[in-house]
Structure 1
């Protein structure tokens, strides 16, 4: 028969320091009980044992009283349903509500947030960090790096990739592409940036013609009559056609004032105008855009973009020092120096951050308060008791130790006064 041992998660295990302090406090109580028994037995032999008996007796009373008080916070002492014990489990919901109210009244009221933010100069802090991002911030950088890696790895990649693709597609759908293309083409033509494109098209057409001469000859041969094929005139005609086209393309490449180049430029000007103003052309381009977006190959490409971006973000997150090097480091330095030097920019940035924080408190403060309250209410009594005891139990055991010692000293002082009188 296999025994399954359930281990508590690390944040719910009893801390070693709490166990040690419990052993010390309980050990002191047992030691005082043993000292009391010994002193009580030896007291007839010599009056000095009376001082030890008084100390031990009072120490036991103080230790037991503080043990009861500490235990009553978290559970019923000895399991007995004594009134006003197990205070935290019985008042769990009220503790959650009070914690939420404390958070709201001291941190999430817009006026409080504004006053606190008024005293903060985040722009100067950001400027100093940007100027020297590695100074005194290694732990912060590493911590943020680990957090970023864990978040990126924990997210559902298939769902997140679908969300990214959907957002990109939605943005592209909302953009009217045709006028943008028309304006870009018109700007390129006005600055003669289209000329290299035309040159490239002409050179490409020359290479295509050279590579496809057999196809041209075959086309002429098929369309020529039997007499021309019998006399070989079809070959001559094909050669003339190829030579004429080749000469025309060379002339267009060498002479930018060639009439056909002028016709091509006129066609580009007309296309730029139609892309911006012709409803039929705009609608045609929009249909082509939508068909392209619906194409599975395009969707796979968009997914690939997201995966590449995610992989790049993971590389940066795993090596934050690389992010703070090179040209980006220089840009950070310049921005940091500007923030430290430009007082007006500091005021503007601080005002923006302050307004953003106040707006967040105003918009989401009540939601955060409800979240805290409902989260605590959702915990079972054992969970909240265990977590609070693990958090503050070590300090509470010092109360037991101090109660034992203080009680013993008070008992010793009373016995001394009694003997003296």
Structure 2
């Protein structure tokens, strides 16, 4: 548009020269000369006016030119004040939102199918959450989750819970399979380390026992006795050793629930465990596996998670679309929230606008405003050129008649 306006001005200069050259040939050339002369004046005047808004014409420091860059701070304050007075007042916000059914609009969006025919949220919820998990710093997020869990665990008194778990398990005889498993594990451990046990017995036997060979018989007796004891405990639910173990478990449960010393020991063990660097490393490895697994499941188009998310959001959209009472509550909440934001943070919002414009350099302000309205300003130059020419013709005609 700037080229068009300038080309029109150059064309008027050419017409002026043509009319001036042939003015003596015919009176009509005078009208052409008057039109072109006045058009050049109008075009040049409007070019000066338009240019003076953004820069110094021809680089000359003429007073009251380069108006926008010279007054950008005042423009920033004026824009902020206009925004605060005409848009961010509670009355204006409430009036603009009174007839808006935000709830129905949200419901329509959630129910509207995507290009693949699926619900919009079902198609995009999984990818949105997966992208969110990928965009966050995994190490920092994992440490924050760990810190939150550790903070909650530090506040949680775990000893009474363990005591209640042991008491409940024993009341339902659910501790017996655990004892059986421990007995079997001890038997397997003894079988795997039988030679070490025999060596320990031989090493501790005196010289007489070794000389007479009784140490081997003693080792056999000890090992066989241990195997026999474990077998008896395993097959006899009422074995005295089981009773001793159960008695110890009952006492442990009572101490965990009521003994301050035992509870303090458990709390100290818990704190030591939480402070252990190995636990932090273990948690980070677990968190990474959880995060990657969750991302893969979210990005699976046939997976359960996107379907569950999409189904839940679709139900919410249907409720927002059809339930008039829910719409009224959501819309009222939206209006109150918007009015509250305008009331509490209106000054901060306009201050943000003002400070942002103030931080722009003069060239940036000029380029952005000129980019927004420059095309219309070039129309002013074109109109000024044509209107000036018409006025010139009218003045020439009046002088001829008079």
Alignment partner of 1:394 is 2:363: no
Select 1:240's aligned residue among 204, 216, 224: 224
Identify the residue that residue 42 of structure 2 maps to in structure 1.
62
Identify the residue that residue 283 of structure 1 maps to in structure 2.
264
Shift of 1:247: 0.8
- The answer to whether the 8 A contact 1:185-1:272 is kept is yes
Alpha carbons of structure 1 residues 188 and 243: separation in structure 2 relative to 1, 3 Å: closer
Alpha carbons of structure 1 residues 29 and 97: separation in structure 2 relative to 1, 3 Å: same
- The answer to whether the 8 A contact 2:8-2:382 is kept is yes
Identify the residue that residue 278 of structure 2 maps to in structure 1.
297
Q: Output the CA distance in 2 between the equivalents of 1:348 and 1:339.
A: 10
Alpha carbons of structure 1 residues 237 and 150: separation in structure 2 relative to 1, 3 Å: closer
- The answer to whether the 8 A contact 1:58-1:410 is kept is yes
- The answer to whether the 8 A contact 1:177-1:286 is kept is no
Identify the residue that residue 9 of structure 1 maps to in structure 2.
none
Identify the residue that residue 71 of structure 1 maps to in structure 2.
51
Select 1:41's aligned residue among 21, 24, 32: 21
Alpha carbons of structure 1 residues 238 and 342: separation in structure 2 relative to 1, 3 Å: farther
Structure 1: stretches of 5+ with no match in the other structure: 1-20
1:89-108 aligned at under 5 Å gives the runs 89-108=69-88
Identify the residue that residue 195 of structure 2 maps to in structure 1.
214
Which whole-Å deviations, capped at 9, do the CAs of 1:334-383 have from their partners, x for residues lacking one?
33333334444444444444444444444443333322222222222222
Shift of 1:151: 11
Identify the residue that residue 109 of structure 2 maps to in structure 1.
129
**Residues matched between the structures, number:** 391
Which whole-Å deviations, capped at 9, do the CAs of 1:135-167 have from their partners, x for residues lacking one?
6999xx99xx89x969976x8x5xx84576256
Mean CA deviation greater in 186-195 or 373-382: 186-195
Q: Output the CA distance in 1 between the equivalents of 2:205 and 2:232.
A: 24
Q: Output the CA distance in 2 between the equivalents of 1:349 and 1:372.
A: 30
Shift of 1:71: 0.9
- The answer to whether the 8 A contact 1:180-1:276 is kept is no
Larger Rg, first or second structure (1 or 2): 2
Which whole-Å deviations, capped at 9, do the CAs of 1:225-258 have from their partners, x for residues lacking one?
5555513322332332332243145327xx5x77
Q: Output the CA distance in 2 between the equivalents of 1:91 and 1:377.
A: 10
Q: Calculate the aligned-residue CA RMSD, in Å.
A: 4.3
Alpha carbons of structure 1 residues 66 and 290: separation in structure 2 relative to 1, 3 Å: farther
Alpha carbons of structure 1 residues 80 and 331: separation in structure 2 relative to 1, 3 Å: same
Alignment partner of 1:169 is 2:153: no
Identify the residue that residue 23 of structure 1 maps to in structure 2.
3
SS of equivalent to 1:402: helix
Alignment partner of 1:379 is 2:360: yes
Alpha carbons of structure 1 residues 68 and 276: separation in structure 2 relative to 1, 3 Å: farther
Identify the residue that residue 8 of structure 1 maps to in structure 2.
none
Shift of 1:93: 1.0
Shift of 1:60: 1.6
SS of equivalent to 1:98: helix
SS of equivalent to 1:235: helix
Q: What TM-score, normalized to structure 2? A: 0.76
SS of equivalent to 2:157: helix
- The answer to whether the 8 A contact 1:132-1:333 is kept is no
- The answer to whether the 8 A contact 1:110-1:362 is kept is yes
Shift of 1:59: 2.0
Select 2:234's aligned residue among 250, 268, 290: 250
Q: Output the CA distance in 1 between the equivalents of 2:173 and 2:312.
A: 31
Shift of 1:399: 2.0
Q: Output the CA distance in 1 between the equivalents of 2:61 and 2:162.
A: 82
Mean CA deviation greater in 74-83 or 35-44: 74-83
Which whole-Å deviations, capped at 9, do the CAs of 1:74-130 have from their partners, x for residues lacking one?
122223333322211122111111222233334444554444444443333333333
